[in-house]
């Protein structure tokens, strides 16, 4: 059984579909995307009865991570896979950073994954399970004007290695670091920047959410891999 946070849309939904297609039962976590979560849940249950359940939670609220891990394990009687995908992402420029932005970006990208992993650990240990964190290529090479986000993802990358040490040998912990995967829906990436990104990507294109889902599936099923991060970026991290 797999728990995927932020699983209603985009990359999260692709991960949910991939793991479900491989035979897993899935608990789909969402915060505000009720319609998308309900639609995906119905789609997957139509394909295979009683194989998907949606759970709403704001992971920044006290105790929410612990409650979600417990509910996920209870829904299908076990917990084999935790995918920490839920994330906030926006500009924070030096000189304009506010405490609320720090709390939100560190909370969603680092604090919530840590406390969710901690709460899920007993269930994962019993199952010989797996954690996959969704980091970012900018964990290693910071993204200009995204100071707090870059710090948070760097912390998540370090957490991946630390938890691999702490939770082994029963639980494997790895990460996928996406590059440019589908353009933001708010059109904030201008055409010139889009062209620059593609031009500095050896494969000559941006990625698709399915590319991330495939890498997650690989890490879930790779029994001698732990503490590792796979960059899924078309080679772009070579240039930045």
Q: Which residues are catalytic?
A: 149
Three-class secondary structure of residue 117 per DSSP: helix
Three-class secondary structure of residue 47 per DSSP: helix
In 107-225, alpha helices (H): 112-127, 147-167, 191-199, 209-220
CA-to-CA separations, 141 to 17, 114, 138, 144, 235, in angstroms, rounded: 30, 22, 5, 9, 13
Please choose, from the candidates 46, 44, 45, 33, the residue with its C-alpha nearest in 3D space to the C-alpha of residue 5. Answer: 33
Q: How far apart are CA 88 and CA 91, in angstroms?
A: 10
Query: Residues 209, 154, 127, CA angle at the centre, nearest 5°?
Result: 65
In the chain, alpha helices (H): 10-21, 34-47, 64-76, 99-106, 112-127, 147-167, 191-199, 209-220
Give every strand in the sheet of 81-84, ordered side by side.
52-56, 26-30, 2-4, 81-84, 130-134, 172-178, 229-232
Q: How far apart are CA 193 and CA 188, in angstroms?
A: 10
Three-class secondary structure of residue 210 per DSSP: helix
């Amino acid at each position: 059984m797999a728990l995927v946070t932020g699983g209603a849309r985009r990359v999260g939904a692709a991960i949910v579909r991939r793991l479900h297609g491989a035979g897993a039962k899935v608990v789909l976590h969402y915060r505000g995307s009720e319609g998308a979560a309900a639609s995906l849940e119905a789609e997957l249950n139509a394909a295979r009865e009683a194989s998907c359940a949606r759970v709403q939670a704001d992971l920044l609220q006290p105790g929410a991570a612990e409650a979600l891990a417990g509910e996920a394990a209870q829904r299908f009687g076990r917990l084999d896979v935790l995918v920490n995908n839920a994330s906030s992402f926006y500009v924070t420029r030096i000189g304009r950073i506010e405490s609320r932005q720090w709390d939100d970006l560190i909370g969603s990208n680092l604090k919530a994954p840590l406390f969710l992993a901690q709460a899920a650990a007993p269930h994962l240990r019993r199952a010989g399970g797996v954690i996959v964190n969704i980091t970012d290529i900018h964990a290693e090479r910071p993204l200009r004007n995204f100071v707090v986000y870059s710090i948070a993802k760097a912390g998540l990358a370090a957490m991946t290695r630390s938890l691999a040490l702490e939770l082994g040998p029963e639980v494997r912990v790895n990460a996928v670091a996406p590059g440019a995967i589908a353009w933001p829906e708010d059109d904030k990436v201008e055409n010139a920047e889009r062209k620059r990104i593609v031009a500095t990507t050896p494969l000559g294109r941006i990625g698709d959410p399915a590319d991330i889902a495939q890498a997650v599936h690989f890490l879930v099923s790779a029994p001698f891999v732990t503490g590792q991060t796979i960059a899924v970026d078309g080679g772009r991290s070579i240039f930045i």
